[in-house]
Every structure is written in structure tokens, then in C-alpha cells.
Chain A
């Protein structure tokens, strides 16, 4: 069976490079499932978990936005931050979540801070979800 080579790269170095049967991501336009032989595609991703399927097993990677680049036999995910479940610092994510929630309650008025806190909250929840899915 054909497989896809998936690589996840961040500015701090590659996070993952392996073959998988299928990749599911949450792009800004909605869910995308990619199988081998897909046409070349570029799509921006939301802060979400990338699901990588291999022989019935599913691996998760948390990405904080970024891009998906698809070629027929290769998928590259370019993100400013991405983590494998084992690399996620749960305590830190919990703390970040709490902090973001507090800030959301405080600064409803200022728009920039609000968006920032909201994004921080999304990243933290995403990380926690990925850890729990493991």
C-alpha cells in the first residue's frame, strides 16, 4: 500500500518525519483528509491536533497554526510551534490555560489583549487535548 511521508518542521527544528497512511488536519477552511496521491495543495491550518494514521494506530501532533503543503507522496507541515504528545509540558499548558482564562475575564475591553489571550487559550487547550488523546 502506498504511504505518505509526513514531516513536521518548525523554526526550532524538525519535529517528526515518518510514513503514514493518512493525514487528517483542521484547515482554516474546514477538515481535510489526505491520502497518498493527493494533488499538490497548500492550506493554512488552525491551532489544532494533526491526526496521523498508520495501520489502525493514530498519532497526534499539536500544531499552533501554520501551513500544510501536500505533494502526491509527501506532506509537509510548517508551523511556528508543534509538539509530539510526549514533548508537551502538561503543567505549563495547564498554567497557560489558567492564565489565559483569567486574562479573558479581565480584559474584555481591549481588543488586542483579548485576541492574544484567546489564541493562548486555544494553544493551551489544544496541547492538553493532544496529551489526553494519547
Chain B
């Protein structure tokens, strides 16, 4: 049995860890709240832009724009959203595993795809496995604003526009609830399956013309898809970290309970032993 001193040291180190994980849990909880608010603030914008895109794309079959047309796929671009830091439970592992599996399934050689990792964990993953990286983004804040991710979204959209890649997919953790997130793959470009939703009855006039509108509208739409996924991913990250930290706190509590029990037992044993020593000492004197 471990000595009293050892047990005491272990109890205090475990309770230090517990304090840290508890604090991290609470930090993540408040970040999750904010992330959810951000995601909510983004909804009206996304809805509106989707509505306009859908009404143009469905109302006019003769509209042509490179972003609406699927080309034969020679090269695929993947955007992967991961976190900068670990300690987020299965958050990063899940999305990276899914990415790796997908790549193994779909591609024979490294010339057929290129990856844009967002977050340090994703970048390190790709570097370690020697996967082709087109561009990397790290150090995004917990509450990213649109301006901060505009560059990366823009870069990805340009990659498609310049025909560097013929398809752009996005891997991220979709936020379902605080305890459940799901790895999702969505196709950003080409935009050939726009969710039309309810049929719009109002037909628009276009000023100056449809082509010019699509010229500016579609990149903006694609960028907002990326931004939406990022917000979703951030919310998932905080939720996942919160859950992981809560589990860690619970585990620490269990360990402390067990250790306290052993500690008390050892203490009792020591007392008993001391008494019996005194008693037997007294008996020897008689």
C-alpha cells in the first residue's frame, strides 16, 4: 500500500488538475454561448443570399457562370476545419479521420487533390503525412469575424475560378447540440445543387444584368458557405472541448474519491498499528 504522504501528494495533484479542467470547461461553455450567437447572427444573411441565388439560378435556365457548371474533376480541393489547440476530445480526430478515409477512397495519387487546412492540428496532420497543402490558416480567434476569414474563403474560391481545382469540398464538425457533433462533408463549388427551398413567386429585375450580378453574387455566396461552416465548426469545437473537460473533471473527482478512501484506510491502519504498539509496549513493562 502506498504511504500516507504519497497518497496525499496524489490527491492534491489530482485536485489541481480538476481545478484546471473545471475552469477550462467553464471557459468553453461561455465561448460556446458566444459561438452560438455568432452562428445565429449569420443565419439571416445566409438565408437572404441563398434566396437571391436560388431565384436567379432557378428562374433563368439560360444563365451561364463558371461557378454553376460542373467540369470533369481532375483535381479536388479539400478545406478542413480543425482547431488550433488540442484537449477538445474527439473533435479533431474525427474530422481528420474522415478526410483521410475519403482521400484514400477517391484518389490514387497526390496530384489529384490539394488540402487547405484551417487550424494547427489539421496542418500538422497534413505535414506529417506529406499531403499536398495549398494554403494554411492558423491562429484564427475563437470568435472569427467575416473580415478575418474573407481572405481564406476568397483564396479557395479563386482556386476554383482559376481552374486549379475542379471541385471544392469542405470538411467540418457540424454542431447538433452541446453533446453531439457530426463530421460533415459539403460541396462548396461548383454550385450545381443550390437548395431552392420554397419557390419564390416574385421575379426580379436585374440591374444592370444577370451575368454581372452572378459575377459578384456567386463568389460572395461561396465565401459565406465557408464562413458558415467555420462558425459551425467553432461552435462544435467549444462544445466538444466543454464535454471533454467535463468528463475530465468527473474522472478527477472519481480518482480523488478513491484516493481519499485509501488515504483514510491507510491513516486508520497507521493509528491501529500505533495503538497496538503502545498497548504491547505497556504489556511488556508489566
Q: Which residue of A lies closest to B44 (CB)?
A: A9
Which of B49, B146, B205, B223 has a CB less than 8 Å from the CB of A41?
A: B205
Which chain A residues lie closer than 8 Å to B216 at the CB level?
28, 44, 65, 67
Tell me the minimal C-beta distance from B147 to chain A in angstroms.
7
The number of residues on chain B lying at the interface, defined by a beta carbon within 8 Å of a beta carbon of chain A, is 29
Contacts of B203 in A (CB 8 A): 40
A-B contact number at CB 8 A: 79
Determine the distance from Cα of A128 to Cα of B99 in the docked complex, in whole angstroms: 46
Q: Which residue of B lies closest to A14 (CB)?
A: B44
Interface of chain B residues 199 through 250 with chain A (CB within 8 A) = 202-208, 212-213, 216-217, 220, 223-224, 227
Interface status of A19 (Cβ within 8 A of chain B): no
Question: Once the chains bind, are B45 and A41 in contact (CB under 8 Å)?
Answer: no
Chain B residues numbered 8-33 whose CB sits less than 8 Å from any CB in chain A: none
Partner of B220, one of A7, A27, A80: A80
Interface of B is mostly: helix
**CB atoms of B217 and A67 under 8 A apart:** yes
Contact between chains at B227 and A11 (CB < 8 Å): yes
A10-B146, A12-B41, A42-B213 in contact; A29/B208 too (CB < 8 A)? yes
Given that A10-B146, A81-B146 are contacting pairs, would A42 and B45 also be in contact in the complex, using a CB cutoff of 8 Å?
A: no
Interface string of B141-156 (1 = CB under 8 A from A): 0000111001000000
Residue of B nearest to A72 (CB): B202
Q: Is the CB of A41 within 8 A of B44?
A: no
A11 to B147 Cα, complex, angstroms: 9
> Which residue of chain A has the shortest Cβ distance to B147 in the bound complex?
A81
A43 and B213 contact, Cβ closer than 8 Å, known pairs A11-B146, A80-B220: yes
CA distance A12 to B149 in the complex (A): 12
Cα distance A14–B204 in the bound complex, in angstroms: 23
Q: Which residues of A contact B147 (CB under 8 A)?
A: 80-81
Find chain B residues with CB under 8 A from A28 CB. Answer: 208, 212, 216
Q: Is the CB of B150 within 8 A of A13?
A: no
CB-based nearest B residue for A64: B147
Chain A residues numbered 9-43 whose CB sits less than 8 Å from any CB in chain B: 9-14, 27-29, 32, 39-43
Name the one of A11, A12, A42, A78 contacting B205, with C-beta atoms under 8 angstroms. A42
- State in angstroms the CA–CA spacing of A78 and B216 once bound together: 12
Segment 41-58 of A: residues with Cβ below 8 Å from B: 41-44
How far in angstroms is the closest Cβ of chain B from A74? 10
A-B residue pairs, 8 tightest by C-beta: A13-B41, A11-B146, A43-B207, A29-B208, A40-B202, A9-B45, A41-B205, A44-B216
Q: Can you report 26 residue pairs joining A to B where beta carbons are below 8 Å apart? A: A10-B146, A11-B224, A12-B38, A12-B42, A12-B146, A13-B38, A13-B41, A13-B42, A14-B44, A28-B216, A29-B208, A32-B207, A40-B202, A40-B205, A41-B205, A42-B205, A44-B216, A65-B216, A67-B49, A67-B213, A69-B48, A69-B52, A71-B202, A78-B45, A80-B146, A80-B220
Interface residues of A (CB under 8 A from B): 7, 9-14, 27-29, 32, 39-44, 65-67, 69, 71, 76, 78, 80-81
